[in-house]
């Protein structure tokens, strides 16, 4: 069986499983890019460069968190169906700052995993 991956520039509509979202009549949809392993390594090298010579774990953790946010924001095109009160949030940075940790981590895992991304890929009906 052949393995077919995503183009790194293609925008994929991903429907997170978080909180039963996939079963919703009007789910939250995240339009994102697949991040191949080479790009994951790129972000890891950036973290390493930012923490070179760092003495404390706090500085390393801070750099890793900043790079995770950068990866998220650079590879999310938009979000729909995510609300704070009555206001819909579509900007990746605001979503990252306000969404639950489990939801953010699910989306990051999907960006980096062809299998997880395929599982949550929005089907055209």
Residue 79, classed as helix, strand or coil, is strand
Which residues of the chain, if any, have pLDDT below 50?
125
- Supply the pLDDT for residue 124: 52
> What's residue 2's pLDDT?
83
User: What pLDDT is stored for residue 74 in this prediction?
Assistant: 95
Q: What was the pLDDT predicted at 121? A: 86
pLDDT at 102: 97
Tens-digit pLDDT profile for residues 64-82: 899 999 999 999 999 999 9
Give this prediction's pTM.
0.87
For residue 125, the model assigns a pLDDT of 43
User: Which spans in the chain are helix H?
Assistant: 37-51, 57-75, 92-98, 101-112, 114-120
| β-strand partners of 76 | 32
88-95 long-range contacts, CB within 8 A, separation 24+: 93/69
- Give backbone dihedrals phi and psi of 86, rounded to 5 degrees, phi first: -95, -5
Q: What is the pLDDT of residue 5?
A: 83
């Amino acid at each position: 069986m052949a393995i077919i991956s995503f183009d790194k520039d293609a925008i994929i509509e991903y429907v997170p499983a978080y909180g039963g979202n996939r079963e919703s009549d009007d789910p939250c949809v995240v339009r994102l890019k697949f991040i191949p392993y080479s790009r994951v390594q790129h972000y890891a090298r950036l973290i390493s460069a930012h923490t070179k010579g760092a003495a404390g774990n706090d500085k390393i953790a801070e750099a890793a968190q900043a790079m995770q946010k950068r990866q998220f924001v650079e590879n999310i095109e938009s979000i729909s169906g995510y609300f704070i009160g009555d206001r819909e949030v579509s900007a990746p940075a605001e979503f990252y700052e306000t969404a639950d940790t489990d939801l953010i981590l699910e989306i990051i895992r999907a960006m980096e995993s062809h299998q997880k991304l395929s599982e949550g890929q929005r089907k055209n009906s």
